[in-house]
Amino acid sequence: MANENTPLDRVRNVGIIAHIDAGKTTTTERILYYTGKKHKIGEVHDGAAEMDWMEQEQERGITITSAATTCFWNNHHINIIDTPGHVDFTIEVERSLKVLDGAVVVFSSSDGVQPQTETVRRQADKYGVPRMCFVNKMDKIGADYNMCLESIKERLSNKWVAIQMPVGQADEFAGIISLITMKYYTFEGANGEQQVERDIPADMLDKANAARESMLDTISAFDDDLAMKFLEGEEISQELVIKAIRTWVLKDELYPVLCGSALKNAGVQMMLDACVNFLPSPLDIGWVNGSNPDNTEEGMFRKADNSEPAAALAFKVMTDPFVGTLTFVRVYSGIIKSGDALLNPITGQKERVGRLLLMHSNKREEISEIGAGHIAAFLGLKDTFTGHTLCDIKDPILLESMDFPDPVISIAIEPNSKKDQEKMWLALSKLMKEDPSFKAHTDEESWQTIIAGMGELHLEIIVDRLKRENKVEVTTGKPQVAFREAISWTAEGEGVFKRQTGGRGQFGHCEIRIENIRGNEDGNNFEFIDEIKGGSVPKEFIPAVRKGAEETMKQGILAGYPIIGVSVALFDGSYHDVDSSEVAFKVATRIAFKNAFMKAGPTLLEPVMKVEVVTPDDYVGDVMGDISSRRGMIQGQEQRWTATVILAKVPLAEMFGYATTLRSATQGRASYSMEFTDYEPVPKNVADEVIKERSGQVQALDEVE
């Protein structure tokens, strides 16, 4: 079995990441074909790609959920995760990068760096994932390799180095020159199976020599051995170049750039060679950090070694209609066998591993054990969720978890019949377990079921899955924006709660100061400071004050939306020896918070999206005019081949239905993408309308009651 026989230095855990429609899934399909994992290439545009197994993916021609597979290349075991490119499913990229050792960033040769490319770059930076670049679609009209390289330099990083160059572009694309071997490669046979090595064409030799000089010059800035040979004009071997690139890729200081066309079966084998040559093995990563689950003391770690105590991280939960709940796990240390009992230090519960499965998209191969450095799916886990640790019961460790983004859009849904009510909540619970960026709850005011996610497409897919997979028919309401409330400046407030009921009374009194901390580097949305001196509020009641503040922030004050970015300092108060209680101080804190909040310049915030529209030049004026009418701010524009790229920031509330409007205005020739960027204040007239609408809902409910 591969897990037992492949040395760890020959294991690669690789993610394929990119903007939507850059060709990630097509590239992965070719990888599976050339590594012998499958014997027929499935095309995304035909709905036949193996890695896009969901019906919704096949119908839309996009990746929605990350899919894992295992293949072999040049005696190396490669675990691959193909991730979505649409911003609504960015959580899939986030949790995949958390457990991967390296990544291939795919670019569309005619588009260069696009918005989601920048997002995945930030995610890869966050987890320190070494990566390389693959400029895909070199056969596409408008393909421009040099434009892509400039785009990477300007918008991503100047740490790149081109190690290949194309021979021809667009309909003249004929093959690839390796600047390491200084040979020209073409790809022949029905599906490009035969990689044919040739001498570089005479008319390309000068250009190739100049590109190689540039490559060596870039690498020599990092590597002293290579720099010495380069300066003295000595011959530099392929082995030395590969070693130097690998050394600095592992340090996340250099990103080799390759090119090709996955659809035309050109360059994928060379990309696989580069994965093996440059991306890290689990041994190169070395160890994973953790903390003591009993006291959260940091400084613990596990080495990538089968002899270490077992430690693994669950990064994805999926429901399989045939076998039940699958928990995707990256094993960092030790060996885990089918039937083993492990500890989940977050829940404190023991979990028994029923079966171990190697996944190939939605197909399964049963194995008896999984070793350090590998990825597999566990069957039989009951209370393990995304981000949870599984470890040796006798030697526990808590691995670092993940952060999940808050939803930015919500809609109300209701079942079409009473019998669907219970089925709907069971299905929603299952979907929330699978997707940490999806939330569902019952609104306390309207008693409606509210589902919230990362965008319109995200919620559209959720509703579609409710109907198809769970046979629950639901009706959906109008999309609602996830507003937030905030303050503008510092203010103080006092709260007194006093009640006498004949017997023991209730008394709580506190004085607090609230301060705006939005935009702080640490990203905190709430902090609590205890400034009590002299015992004016006894220590046993201070946690109740904190809890009262937190609950008030969750409930909101202006319009019932959560409050963000506030520091609460408790600086004074008083108590009664007999009547004071935790409940009394909690209520007093709510009163004090509301009092201070209304004096602190309260404001309503809305999610604002970074929007990028690619449009033919003929429609630039119409597109910009429409963006401005949506309260959008144009940030700039740039030329990209025959199209204009318009960059803007637009409130999410104004972007509903934009795809239809853009199609109509440009005869279907423009495209756009957007991603959440920040919360910003809502104009007063819009805020007044939202507050009035929310208060109207509450008043209507009060009248009904």
Examine the pLDDT at 395 and tell me if it is beyond 80: yes
Give pLDDT tens digits for 201-239: 999 999 999 999 999 999 988 878 888 888 887 888 899
Mean local confidence (pLDDT), 158-172: 93
What number of H helices and E strands is found in the chain? Answer: 18, 38
Higher pLDDT: 503 or 328? It is 328
Looking up tokens 């909540």 gives 425
Record the tokens describing residue 480, joined without a space.
């609602």
pLDDT grade, residue 701 (50/70/90)?
A: very low
Q: pLDDT tier at 455 (50, 70, 90 boundaries)?
A: confident
Q: Which residues contact 17 (CB under 8 A, 6 or more apart)?
A: 24, 83, 85, 93, 96, 97, 103, 104, 105, 106, 120, 123, 124, 131
Give the pLDDT score at 62: 55
Local confidence band at 542 (pLDDT 50, 70, 90 cut-offs): very high
650 vs 19, more confident: 650
What share of the chain in percent tops pLDDT 90? 43
pLDDT of amino acid 536: 92
At a CB cut-off of 8 Å and minimum separation 6, what does 109 contact? 135, 136, 137, 138, 140, 142, 143, 144, 145, 148, 169, 259
Q: Are 159 and 255 in contact (CB under 8 A)?
A: yes
The average pLDDT across 150-174 equals: 91
Locate 277 and state its tokens.
């040559």
Rounded CA separation 194/155 (Å): 36
What is the C-alpha to C-alpha distance for residues 404 and 434, in angstroms, rounded to an integer?
A: 13
166: buried, middle or exposed (CB in 10 Å: 19+, 13-18, 0-12)? buried
Average pLDDT of the residues in 75-86? 82
d(C-alpha 332, C-alpha 95), whole Å: 15
Query: Left if phi > 0, otherwise alpha if psi is -120 to 50, otherwise beta: which for 548?
Result: alpha
Asked whether the beta carbons of 536 and 572 are under 8 A apart, the reply is yes
Determine the pLDDT at residue 55: 56
**Lowest mean pLDDT, pick from 527-541, 551-565, 663-677:** 663-677
Half-sphere exposure of 598 (CA within 13 A, CB side): 9
State pTM to two decimals.
0.74
| 491 bridge partner residues | 514
Do the strands 566-574 and 526-530 form a parallel or antiparallel pair, or are they unpaired? parallel
Q: Is the pLDDT of residue 51 over 50?
A: no
Mean pLDDT of 127-154: 92
Closest-CA residue to 413 (of 480, 459, 475, 460): 475
pLDDT value at residue 96: 83
CB-CB contact of 30 with 264 (8 Å):
no
Residue 444 pLDDT greater than 70, yes or no = no
Residues 230-243 have pLDDT tens digits of 888 788 889 999 99
Mean pLDDT across 617-635: 93
What is the reported pLDDT for 167?
A: 95
Bridge partners, residue 398, by sequence? 291
- Mean pLDDT across 313-324: 81
Average of per-residue pLDDT across 698-704: 36
> Above pLDDT 70, what percent of the chain?
90
Instruction: Name the least confident of 137-141, 143-147, 671-675.
Output: 671-675
pLDDT above 70 for 594: yes
- pLDDT greater than 50 at residue 281: yes
pLDDT at 644 over 70: yes
Output the pLDDT for position 560: 87
What integer pLDDT is reported at residue 675 of this predicted model? 81
Work out the mean pLDDT of the chain and round it to a whole number.
Answer: 85
- The 10s digit of each residue's pLDDT in 321-377 is 777 788 889 999 999 999 999 999 999 999 999 888 887 766 778 888 999 999 888
| Tokens, residue 460 | 């559209």
Stretch 605-627: mean pLDDT, rounded?
Answer: 91
**pLDDT reported for residue 657:** 80
**Confidence at residue 172, expressed as pLDDT on a 0 to 100 scale:** 92
Q: 192 or 138, which is more confident? A: 138
Average pLDDT over residues 389-413: 86
